[in-house]
């Protein structure tokens, strides 16, 4: 008799669990979501700028995905990580919530979170040493990129920004930039250029400055098309 009662109770508990957890089960799905390795992450923040939904933040010197539902699995953040700390995994989790992600992005770029933390931003005008260069993630952008990409602010929020044009400006930026890199503790460099031939020299300039500085600073390059799309 006791054996039979045990079986009935077990079946009852299973039915009870299924009924009361059906909603949670319906909201789960197998899909691609990023996972960030804390040991590998240096907190450079490049992935936060790459995420189109503002789903990643740097907290405690480590990058973190706020919620799975903010991640659409696009993988843009995985391509910019210099330490391969951001990986895509196929997991059973909540589906992508586009409305919630849009709201999250709007909150991130609110007036309480300024897009520019330093002034001036022109490479020719900034001092060689300044507080905003200390322990900073540096964005070095070609002038045209901000006018071409519709959400350029996502690249610059919380970072130090420098802009220049190696085609129109008759100025050797590599020497000046090398001194900035040498005199300050820059954690990472994110170069943003246009997908046009004249912008090729922009990346060459930054790489030359990095070499002259004698520093080993992680650097990634983002290329913006003339239609405002991120090519790489």
What pTM did the predictor assign? 0.56
Query: Which of 195, 215, 180, 110 lies closest to 149, judged by CA?
Result: 195
- Where are the domains positioned within the chain? 2-108, 131-224
Q: CA 43 to CA 141: how far, in whole Å? A: 21
- pLDDT number for residue 19: 46
Q: Which CATH class is domain 2-108?
A: alpha beta
Nearest-5° Cα angle at 125, 122 to 127: 115
> How do residues 59-94 score in pLDDT, each as one tens digit?
777 889 999 999 999 988 898 888 899 999 999 999
Q: Which CATH class is domain 131-224?
A: alpha beta
- Token pair listed for 169: 């400006």
Residues 6+ apart with CB under 8 A from 223: 193, 194, 195, 230, 231, 232
User: Above 70 in pLDDT, residue 203?
Assistant: yes
**In the 8-state DSSP scheme, what is residue 200?**
H
């Amino acid at each position: 008799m006791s054996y039979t009662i045990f079986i009935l109770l077990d079946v009852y508990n299973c039915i009870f669990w299924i009924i009361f957890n059906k909603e949670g089960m319906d909201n789960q799905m197998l899909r691609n979501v990023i996972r960030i390795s804390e040991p590998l992450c240096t907190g450079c923040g490049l992935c936060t700028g790459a995420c189109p939904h503002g789903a990643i933040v740097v907290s405690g010197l480590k990058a973190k995905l706020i919620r799975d539902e903010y991640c659409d699995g696009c993988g843009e953040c995985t391509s910019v990580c210099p330490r391969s700390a951001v990986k895509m995994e196929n997991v059973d989790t909540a589906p992508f919530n586009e409305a919630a992600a849009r709201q999250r992005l709007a909150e991130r770029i609110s007036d309480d979170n300024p897009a520019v933390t330093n002034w001036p931003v022109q490479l020719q005008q900034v001092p060689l040493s300044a507080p905003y260069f200390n322990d900073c993630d540096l964005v070095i952008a070609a002038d045209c990129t901000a006018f071409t990409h519709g959400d350029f602010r996502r690249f610059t929020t919380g970072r130090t920004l420098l802009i220049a044009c190696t085609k129109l400006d008759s100025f050797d930026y590599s020497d000046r930039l090398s001194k900035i890199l040498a005199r300050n503790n820059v954690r990472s460099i994110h170069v943003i250029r246009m997908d046009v031939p004249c912008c090729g020299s922009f990346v060459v300039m930054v790489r030359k400055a990095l070499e002259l500085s004698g520093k080993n600073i992680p650097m990634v390059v983002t290329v913006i098309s003339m239609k405002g799309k991120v090519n790489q």
